[in-house]
Structure 1
Amino acid sequence: MEQKYHVPALDRANAVLTVLRDEPYRWKLSDLSKMIGISKSTLHSLLATMERLQWVSRDRNETYAIGSAIGRFGSAFFQQFDLSEDFRRLAEPVMRNLQESIQLAVLEGSDVQYLAKVEAPSPVQMVSGPGVRFPAHATGLGKALMADMNEQQICNLYPEESLPKITVHTIGSREALIHELKNVRKAGYAMDIQEGVMGFCCTAAPIRKANGEIAAAISCSMPIHHWEGKKERALEEIVQLAQRLSHL
């Protein structure tokens, strides 16, 4: 990544966490300062912030260990894999019924990151396997994942009014995206009509945590010549599948 995006404080925090990962409650501030090569004054401010965020904890001996917030992040990371397994199990019959591919994804910044795919036996496929990233505003998945965001959150995610056009059908402005997300929020699902890939359409729905927050989303993608004949059935199946995957 370009150097202009480098954040030294995060590098220092990562160095602290790396040390504490292997040897919890062993090192004091002065020890960490020597090991990592950070001045005591700088490290003191960094550790105070990390302690406030619960990234680290400090005991009565003034030694440090990884904090509870990092544990929660780790738990959330591994829950993605649990979700992927549940997705594969529950999406398989949906794929067989529709004879179209089903995808699972999460939001990473302004991108959709695909976690899993149950692929239909079709010679024509979108490139949407695990690990692939794609601009969120150009996908049904992305719109489903961003459905609960308010205008300020969208503006933070997209500082520029103009959005990159992936195809001639892609939403091209932040204002249009905000309007579209209001419709998605009201309907409970999103559609993508050749917005990400020419010749393909999809319908998508969010997967929610027990507290109602959107955790991930699923979609069914298909070639456009299948769309008119299958879109209503695909929408029904995807919304029902998202509901089954929610709160697991």
Structure 2
Amino acid sequence: MDEQKYSVPALDRANAVLTALVDEPYRWKLSDLSKKLDISKSTLYSLLATMERLQWIARDRNDAYAIGSAMGRLGGAYFRQYDLVEAFRTLADPAMRKLEESIQLAVLEGSDVLYLAKVEAPGPVQMVSGPGVRFPAHATGLGKALLAGTTEDRIRELFPEESLPKITVHTVGSREALLQEVRKGEREGYTTDIQEGVMGFCCVAAPVRASGGGVVAAVSCSMPIHRWEGKKETALREMQELAKRLSPL
């Protein structure tokens, strides 16, 4: 993909402003930033006013700028995910030992699941779901659990086509079917995928919620299909309990 083709110049300029303010808070005024960043004063004035309204930046009595409180909140959220990973590793281990199956933690990135951590059960057969791996959200129980915290309009934005790509023959094939699965997950408090992402594997997932109720992550237990019927109810209870314990860390 041509990254420049799809870039947003205003965001590039906002990033340049933030970068300038990181190391030297309350040094730069409008005229100084205009010269430093080679942005016209009229363009920069509108940009700074918008950024100040959003609390991305703050201005002192001398009209000099620094990073604003919204950046602090976003930065805090970024680092809290690492606290979440550490808590997950501790809290998921007993469930993994009880189930003798691997357990994953993930977040939603666009229309993909991004795996943050995995507590892996011993065994020769494993799903490829380690930290950093991305996978289409519509094809996973984790993805459906994460989408349960998303509005229908946002889901339609994330999946603009009615037809969804099939990862296996069992993958949800339409956006409407996905919406139905997500809403069912909202009602029941958990989601599943039965060989939808990987043939021969099933999983059950539950959402991790912030204090305000929004979904910030999800946990899942995956296992080979021949062990699914015997373990799915226990796995469901363990994932819901794990998600509850991780909320609202």
TM-score bin (small chain): over 0.9
- SS of 1:62's partner is coil
Question: Hey, what does 2:143 align to over in structure 1?
Answer: 142
- SS of 2:14's partner is helix
RMSD over aligned Cα, in angstroms?
1.0
1:179-194 → structure 2 map (5 Å cutoff)? 179-194=180-195
Deviation string, structure 1 residues 73-127 (Cα, Å, up to 9, x no partner): 0000000000111100000011111111000011111111111110111111111
Question: Hey, what does 2:154 align to over in structure 1?
Answer: 153
Question: 4+ runs of 1 displaced by more than 3 Å?
Answer: none
Q: How many residues align?
A: 248
Question: Hey, what does 2:239 align to over in structure 1?
Answer: 238
Deviation at 1:247, TM superposition (A): 1.9
For 1:69 and 1:92, the matched residues in 2 are separated by: 35
For 1:44 and 1:150, the matched residues in 2 are separated by: 34
For 1:127 and 1:48, the matched residues in 2 are separated by: 46
For 2:158 and 2:135, the matched residues in 1 are separated by: 15
For 2:150 and 2:22, the matched residues in 1 are separated by: 34
Q: Does 2:58 correspond to 1:57?
A: yes
Deviation at 1:167, TM superposition (A): 1.1
Segments of structure 1 that go 5 or more residues without pairing to the other structure are none
* Percent of residue pairs identical: 74
- SS of 1:228's partner is helix
For 1:97 and 1:136, the matched residues in 2 are separated by: 27
2:165 alignment partner AA: P
Question: Hey, what does 1:200 align to over in structure 2?
Answer: 201
1:9-158 → structure 2 map (5 Å cutoff)? 9-158=10-159
For 1:150 and 1:24, the matched residues in 2 are separated by: 37
TM-score, normalised relative to structure 2: 0.97
Deviation at 1:149, TM superposition (A): 2.5
Q: Does 2:15 correspond to 1:7?
A: no
For 2:229 and 2:33, the matched residues in 1 are separated by: 63
Deviation string, structure 1 residues 123-155 (Cα, Å, up to 9, x no partner): 111111111111111110010011133321211
For 1:144 and 1:241, the matched residues in 2 are separated by: 14
Deviation at 1:38, TM superposition (A): 1.1
TM-score, normalised relative to structure 1: 0.97
1:169 alignment partner AA: H
Deviation at 1:229, TM superposition (A): 1.5
Segments of structure 2 that go 5 or more residues without pairing to the other structure are none
